[in-house]
């Protein structure tokens, strides 16, 4: 029988920030040879795919998100051969490899931009977005960069401004130009032909801009010191008419290669986000769902609300996904605290849909305070409080100096966390109650329990407002997840008779049977229980709805 689900539906994605994973050549920066040495760890952990933030040639103005050659590997990270062997060795271990695809902008050092800026009649001129100065000589409109300041940079040589929604060294490509589209689709073909299993597409919702270049409304709630990316309402720079056609075109390229995946980085309100699945489910397989990343307050009712709203709004046949952290946002353990972070991991790994785990989160890693003089992130240069360096620090492998990330005598590109002797892979692998043991166990259970990978999901009503309880079921298998979002002990009374078999506590210190009528949860504890159908009232035991394949 054909497997009705694709690997990217049943699997778990692990995001690697290549600069920070493992330094294989002793220069203080992570690289592909380092990554290859850790494939067995990744496999052991129990994830199914790795997504690498960009590894292409780049002047590193935005740490690889400013690409000067889309079809090569930066020497800092290794060679094309290293990438090929990484692919091969990953595939041998049944791990998929997803690359980052950055189509909105190139580096200003990309030959295309070098040509475009050489003169106004160059054939590549229209590949970027050029405008005449406003009558007073200033920028053509009020658009602001998501890193702060105007989004326009004056080019003395040709007397026009170019657009950069990010750093001045990241000129935006003109996606209304057919040649640009073709060139970028050729890039997709190049990597698909080499065997990559899919792409995470950077800022997919920003590719098109208003044809009339109208001013964006300013965000009335924004105050100096707030995140510069929220300064304006992106009415004319985000989610523009015509964008869905482009996503369909990208998907069509990926679909030529069978079971590959297209993931979109999209920060939009739910209804607009979900459009990126495509009306015929012919756009992104997984438009990243950042609801849990942007949640203003972490709590049982807010989480329940976003989970239910998302489930209810998902188009028929669309596959859900969940994210807790990434290289742009504070780590989950910093946002919710180290104790509650265990509950967050249980949530991520038991919700319906594909989870994406950020490297180091499995150790309980927290953001690391980086002194202003050691900061690298262009976003943090003006406003250190918005720097993304704290969530990009080296992976903590062991208790030796530099946490085993790079040789002891070498200075890592960002500082290693002070608490690395407690939070590191080796120490945590030896501790049966560590954060890593919890994540590893969750991933193992997820793999062995179809209820957790392909089962339906349903919230369970109960009276305690600090806890969120839900049921996952597939055929005869039923799993209850009960999460305590408070630091105090709680009791939840579940409907139904009988007992549940405790498969896992986030504290990893108990098992056995628990009466459903009185489930005791300690502060910041989550429980995973297996229950018999006969223990649940009829309304919760229902036939599985037909699950649609990809």
Residue 172 touching ligand GLC (CB under 6 A) = no
* Active-site choice (48, 62, 172, 202): 202
In contact, 324 and 344? CB cutoff 8 Å: yes
- With both helix axes pointing from N to C terminus, report the angle between 338-350 and 435-448 in degrees, rounded to the nearest 10: 10
Residue 525 touching ligand GLC (CB under 6 A) = no
Residue 108 touching ligand GLC (CB under 6 A) = no
> What is the residue-wise DSSP string for 179-210?
HHHHHHHHHHHHHHHHT--EEEETTGGGS---
Q: How far is the CB of 387 from ligand GLC (least distance, A)?
A: 12
Residue 65 touching ligand GLC (CB under 6 A) = yes
- Binders of ligand GLC among residues 252 to 311 (CB under 6 A) are 265
Q: How far is the CB of 328 from ligand GLC (least distance, A)?
A: 5
Q: How far is the CB of 64 from ligand GLC (least distance, A)?
A: 9
Per-residue interface string for the shown chain with ligand GLC, residues 316-345, x marking contact by CB under 6 A: -----------xx-----------------
Residue 31 touching ligand GLC (CB under 6 A) = no
Q: Is the dihedral of CA 227, 231, 235, 240 positive or negative?
A: negative
* Active-site choice (265, 362, 389, 428): 265
Residue 62 touching ligand GLC (CB under 6 A) = yes
> What is the residue-wise DSSP string for 232-260?
B--TTTSS-TTHHHHHHHHHHHHHTTSS-
Q: How remote is the C-alpha of 234 from its chain's centroid?
A: 22
Q: How remote is the C-alpha of 442 from its chain's centroid?
A: 19
| Cβ contacts of 183 within 8 Å, gap of 6 or more | 112, 127
Using the minimum distance from each CB to ligand GLC, give the nearer residue, 255 or 328. 328
Using the minimum distance from each CB to ligand GLC, give the nearer residue, 109 or 328. 328
Query: What would the 3-class secondary structure string for 73-100 be?
Result: CCCCCCCHHHHHHHHHHHHHCCCEEEEE
Residue 362 touching ligand GLC (CB under 6 A) = no
By rule CB under 6 A, what count of residues binds ligand GLC?
Answer: 9
Structure tokens at 293: 């990343």
Query: What would the 3-class secondary structure string for 25-48 be?
Result: CCCCCCCHHHHHHCHHHHHHHCCC
Q: How far is the CB of 63 from ligand GLC (least distance, A)?
A: 7
Active site residue 265: yes
Residue 166 touching ligand GLC (CB under 6 A) = yes
Say which DSSP state 166 is in: S
- How many helices (H) and strands (E) would you count in the chain? 16, 19
Active site residue 339: no
Using the minimum distance from each CB to ligand GLC, give the nearer residue, 65 or 152. 65
Q: How far is the CB of 388 from ligand GLC (least distance, A)?
A: 7
Using the minimum distance from each CB to ligand GLC, give the nearer residue, 326 or 340. 326
Q: How far is the CB of 497 from ligand GLC (least distance, A)?
A: 49
Residue 102 touching ligand GLC (CB under 6 A) = yes
Using the minimum distance from each CB to ligand GLC, give the nearer residue, 273 or 449. 273
Q: How far is the CB of 110 from ligand GLC (least distance, A)?
A: 13
SS3 354: strand
SS3 301: helix
Structure tokens at 57: 């040639």
Per-residue interface string for the shown chain with ligand GLC, residues 179-218, x marking contact by CB under 6 A: -----------------------xx---------------
> What is the residue-wise DSSP string for 481-527?
EEEE-SSS-EEE--SSSSEEEEEEETTS---EEEETTSEEE-TT-EE
Residues that bind ligand GLC (CB under 6 A): 62, 65, 102, 166, 202-203, 265, 327-328
* Residues acting as catalytic residues: 202, 265
């Amino acid at each position: 029988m054909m497997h009705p689900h694709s690997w990217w539906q049943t699997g778990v994605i692990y995001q690697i920030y290549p600069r920070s994973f493992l330094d294989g050549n002793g220069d203080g920066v992570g690289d592909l040879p380092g990554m290859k040495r850790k494939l067995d760890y990744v496999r052991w952990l129990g994830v199914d795919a790795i997504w690498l933030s960009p590894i292409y040639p780049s002047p590193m103005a935005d740490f690889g998100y400013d690409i000067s050659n889309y079809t090569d590997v930066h020497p800092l990270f290794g060679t094309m051969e290293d990438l090929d062997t990484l692919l091969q060795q990953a595939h041998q271990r049944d791990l998929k490899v997803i690359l980052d695809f950055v189509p909105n902008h190139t580096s200003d050092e990309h030959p295309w931009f070098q040509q475009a800026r050489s003169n106004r009649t160059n054939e590549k001129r229209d590949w970027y977005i050029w405008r005449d100065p406003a009558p007073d000589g200033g920028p053509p409109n009020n658009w602001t960069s998501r890193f702060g300041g105007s989004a326009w940079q004056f080019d003395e040589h040709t007397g026009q401004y170019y657009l950069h929604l990010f750093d001045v060294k990241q000129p935006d490509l003109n996606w209304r130009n057919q040649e640009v589209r073709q060139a970028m689709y050729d890039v997709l073909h190049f990597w698909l032909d080499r065997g990559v299993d899919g792409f995470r597409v950077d800022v997919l919702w920003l590719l098109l801009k208003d044809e009339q270049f109208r001013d964006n409304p300013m965000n009335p709630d924004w105050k100096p010191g707030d995140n510069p990316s929220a300064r304006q309402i992106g009415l004319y720079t985000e989610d523009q008419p015509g964008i869905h056609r482009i996503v369909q075109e990208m998907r069509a390229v990926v679909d030529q290669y069978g079971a590959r995946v297209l993931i979109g980085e999209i920060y939009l309100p739910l209804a607009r986000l979900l459009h990126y699945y495509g009306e015929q489910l012919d756009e992104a397989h997984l438009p990243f769902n950042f609801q849990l990343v942007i949640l203003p307050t972490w709590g049982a009712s807010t989480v329940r609300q976003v989970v239910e709203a998302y489930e209810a709004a998902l188009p028929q046949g669309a596959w859900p996904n969940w994210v807790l952290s990434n290289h742009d946002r504070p780590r989950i353990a910093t946002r919710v605290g180290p104790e509650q972070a265990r509950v967050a991991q249980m949530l991520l790994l038991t919700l319906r849909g594909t989870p994406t785990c950020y490297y180091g989160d499995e150790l309980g890693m927290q953001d690391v305070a980086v002194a202003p003089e050691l900061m690298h992130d262009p976003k943090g240069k003006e406003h250190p409080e918005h720097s993304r360096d704290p969530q990009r620090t080296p992976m903590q492998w062991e208790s030796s100096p530099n946490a085993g990330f790079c040789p002891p005598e070498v200075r890592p590109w960002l500082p290693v966390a002070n608490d690395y002797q407690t939070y590191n892979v080796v120490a945590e692998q030896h501790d049966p109650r560590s954060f890593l043991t919890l994540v590893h166990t969750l991933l193992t259970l997820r793999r062995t329990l179809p209820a957790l990978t392909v089962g339906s999901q349903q919230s369970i009503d109960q009276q305690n407002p600090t806890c969120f309880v839900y049921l996952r079921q597939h055929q005869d298998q039923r799993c209850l997840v009960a999460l305590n979002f408070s630091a105090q002990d709680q009791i939840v009374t579940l409907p139904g008779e009988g007992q549940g078999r405790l498969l896992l506590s986030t504290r990893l210190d108990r098992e056995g049977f628990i009466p459903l009528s009185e489930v005791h949860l300690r502060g910041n504890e989550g429980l995973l229980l297996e229950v018999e159908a006969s223990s649940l009232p009829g309304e919760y035991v229902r036939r599985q709805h037909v699950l649609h394949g990809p």
